[in-house]
Amino acid sequence: MNFKNVLSILLVLVGLSAPILAQQIEAGRAVQITIQGVPAEEKGKIDGNYPVSESGYINMPIIKLVHAAGSRNEDLAAVIEARYRNAGIYTNPTIQVISDIGNKINEHTVVIGGQVRAPGPKPYTRGLTLYQAIQAAGGATEFGSMKRVKLFRGGRQTQYDLTKAQFMTVLVAPDDTVEVPQKTPWGG
């Protein structure tokens, strides 16, 4: 076998392995799970979307926590099938797992309102700061006051002066609401 043939084979193998790597399930995402080979009323209990926790687990009915992050779809399906079989719950389940790493099924947002150029929900990403969230909304308008930015979380309101560096790194959480108020007549 010459060098050209070996190189061609290696390129084909690399090309085939790329989709396999792309199928790995990630923490913070979600997977869709369907089950076959069980009574119809049981199917409704299992079929659905399952968020993958930050620690990498999904919470399945009856068998509870199953480690998912880092697994391929087929591997997770086999683990779930085995857990249901070994627990004596289903004798011949067939599980299908679908994950799309480009699409978050349970995507979290942060709502930015008030005097910003593009108000509305913005995608939440881990490590997102209050300042970055406002910039994701196009930044404050010329009428917006960065000295009195309000952060609403869990029914509580906190106010920050984002003209001071110490407050620019305040982290936002999923489902927070941020408001940039209008400046006062004195500019504050």
Tell me the average pLDDT across 117-133: 91
Sheet holding 156-160, edge to edge: 120-123, 109-114, 177-180, 149-153, 156-160
Q: What is the pLDDT of residues 135-172, one digit of tens each?
A: 999 999 999 999 999 999 989 999 999 999 999 999 99
Summarize the confidence of residues 108-116 as an average pLDDT: 90
- Which CATH fold topology does 3-98 show? wza like fold (3.30.1950)
The sign of the CA dihedral 137, 141, 145, 147 is positive
pLDDT of residue 36: 94
User: How would you label 147-156 residue by residue, b for 16+ Cβ within 10 Å and e otherwise?
Assistant: bbbebeeeee
Residues in contact with 180: Cβ distance below 8 Å, sequence separation at least 6, in sequence order: 112, 113, 114, 115, 116, 134, 140, 144, 145, 146, 149
Do residues 61 and 42 lie in contact, with contact meaning Cβ atoms separated by under 8 Å? no
The C-alpha atoms of residue 176 and residue 174 are separated, in whole angstroms, by 6
Nearest CA to 37 out of 76, 121, 106, 94 is that of 94
- State the pLDDT confidence band at 5, using cuts at 50, 70 and 90: low
Whole-model pTM: value is 0.48
**Nearest 10 degrees: CA dihedral of 131, 137, 143, 148?**
-30
> Quick count: other Cβ atoms within 10 Å of Cβ 170?
15
Residue-wise pLDDT for 60-101, tens only, equals 988 999 999 999 999 999 999 999 999 999 999 999 999 864
Region 109-180: CATH code = 3.10.560.10
Domain boundaries, the chain: 3-98, 109-180
